[in-house]
Amino acid sequence: MARSPARKPPARARAAAAPKRPSPAGIFLRQHRGLLRAAGFGLLLIALVGAGAAGVAALDPALRARDAAAWLAGIGRAPGLAVREIRIEGREFTPREALLGAIGILPGEALLDFDPHAARARLEEIAWVERAHVERRLDGTILVRIEERKAFAIWQREGRFAVIDRQGRVMATERLEAFGPLPLVVGAGAEREAAAMIDLLRSAPEIADRVQALVRVSERRWNLRLHNGADVLLPEGQEEAAIVRLAELQARERLLDRPLAAVDMRLPDRLVLRLPAPAAPAAPPRSTRG
């Protein structure tokens, strides 16, 4: 007797018996279950806050306003909606107290009360801060990243000293030694015009090494005060040509190593050298009678 061929199970049964591959959505849900649970809890609380506020307003807006504010504040401090940590990255010289004051919130306060955009605007008003990035995270973290301005020079005016950035903005007036050696610029308006002149000197290191300070004269032109006490008077608006000529004279004749009081380069067709004033003769000893 011939055996009948084995019957295949239905397609639905075969599909149920075959192992299933996890879908990308299922993998994502398993990997981020904790984060989604926290986000869902936060959204649920926000929905409850909105519904509660609407209900209170509908019942009695005038009498319940204060109670509603207290209730909302309490919800904002619930687990997952209170500030747990304020993390600041990128700070080197900016006082931490100034940053915390600009951020404007403390651990334990309501996370929903914090406005990252307003905090960023306040942070960028601090003299030290070039730009800021502020994040508010569901886990209760306030993340602040700042980029500080770079100290460029020390500015002296009327006996007072300040560290300035490249744009001439004052960054600090205390603990100047913490910034290391910086070029010194002197006089009214020197802070605004210093960058171009310092860059020009850096292109002529044989001159820059002998310069103690750049002195702004009448907010129009520059003098170079050398370490040996001599002054180089530069022409207004022709500083680059004068520095090139001075470098050539230094290389050829060692001009700046001579005992000079001043090198006047303001005239286009001549160089005027001023010698130090002769020392006054010593007074003869006075005789005394016994």
Is a pLDDT exceeding 70 seen at residue 134? yes
pLDDT interval class at 278 (50, 70, 90): confident
The token pair at 138 is 């569901």
pLDDT digits (tens, 9 = 90+) for 74-121: 555 555 589 999 999 999 989 999 999 999 999 999 999 999 999 999
Q: Are residues 157 and 230 in the same domain?
A: yes
What's residue 290's pLDDT?
44
CATH number, position 106: 3.10.20.310
Query: What are the residues facing 133 on neighbouring strands?
Result: 145
Q: Are residues 240 and 129 in the same domain?
A: no
Q: Are residues 264 and 249 in the same domain?
A: yes
Lowest mean pLDDT among 9-18, 93-102, 195-204: 9-18
Q: Which of 110, 132, 148 is the last residue of a domain?
A: 148
What's residue 32's pLDDT?
45
User: Mean pLDDT over residues 249-264, rounded?
Assistant: 94
Is a pLDDT exceeding 50 seen at residue 36? no
What's residue 39's pLDDT?
47
SS3 label, residue 183: coil
pLDDT interval class at 38 (50, 70, 90): very low
The token pair at 169 is 């903005």
CATH number, position 243: 3.40.50.11690
SS3 label, residue 95: coil
What's residue 66's pLDDT?
58
Is a pLDDT exceeding 50 seen at residue 15? no
Q: Are residues 216 and 255 in the same domain?
A: yes
What's residue 288's pLDDT?
53
Is a pLDDT exceeding 70 seen at residue 17? no
Q: Which of 129, 148, 167 is the last residue of a domain?
A: 148
- Determine contact, residues 42/82, Cβ cutoff 8 Å: no
Minimal CA–CA distance to 178: which of 216, 128, 242, 129? Answer: 128
Q: Structurally, how many domains does the chain consist of?
A: 3
Where in 25-128 does DSSP place strands (E)?
85-89
Residue numbers of the domain that contains 185: 153-274
Q: Are residues 159 and 258 in the same domain?
A: yes
In three-state form (DSSP H/G/I as H, E/B as E, the rest C), the secondary structure along 30-49 is HHCHHHHHHHHHHHHHHHHH
Secondary-structure percent of the chain, ordered helix, strand, coil, rounded to 5: 40, 20, 40
To the nearest whole number, what is the mean pLDDT of the chain?
81
Count CB atoms within 10 A of the CB of residue 248.
Answer: 12
Minimal CA–CA distance to 154: which of 168, 142, 139, 140? Answer: 168
What's residue 269's pLDDT?
87
User: Mean pLDDT over residues 2-21, rounded?
Assistant: 51
Higher pLDDT, 283 or 129: 129
pLDDT digits (tens, 9 = 90+) for 147-169: 999 999 999 999 999 999 999 99
Q: Is residue 49 part of a domain?
A: yes
pLDDT interval class at 177 (50, 70, 90): confident
| CA 113 to chain centroid | 26
Q: Are residues 194 and 207 in the same domain?
A: yes
- Determine contact, residues 153/213, Cβ cutoff 8 Å: no
Q: Is residue 289 part of a domain?
A: no
- φ, ψ of residue 38 to 5 degrees: the values are -65, -40
Is a pLDDT exceeding 70 seen at residue 23? no
pLDDT interval class at 41 (50, 70, 90): very low
Q: Are residues 65 and 89 in the same domain?
A: no
Measured CA distances, 134 to 83, 147, 270 (Å): 14, 12, 59
Q: Is residue 101 part of a domain?
A: yes
Q: Are residues 143 and 177 in the same domain?
A: no
Q: Are residues 66 and 107 in the same domain?
A: no
Residue in this structure with the two tokens 């940590």, named with its chain if needed:
85
Q: Is residue 11 part of a domain?
A: no
Q: Is residue 59 part of a domain?
A: yes
pTM for this prediction = 0.63
Higher pLDDT, 220 or 80: 220
Q: Is residue 27 part of a domain?
A: no
Lowest mean pLDDT among 11-20, 83-92, 183-192, 246-255: 11-20
Is a pLDDT exceeding 60 seen at residue 243? yes
From first CA to last CA, the distance across the chain in angstroms is: 164
What's residue 75's pLDDT?
53
Q: Which of 148, 167, 200 is the last residue of a domain?
A: 148
**To 10 degrees, the CA torsion angle through 212, 217, 221, 226?**
-20
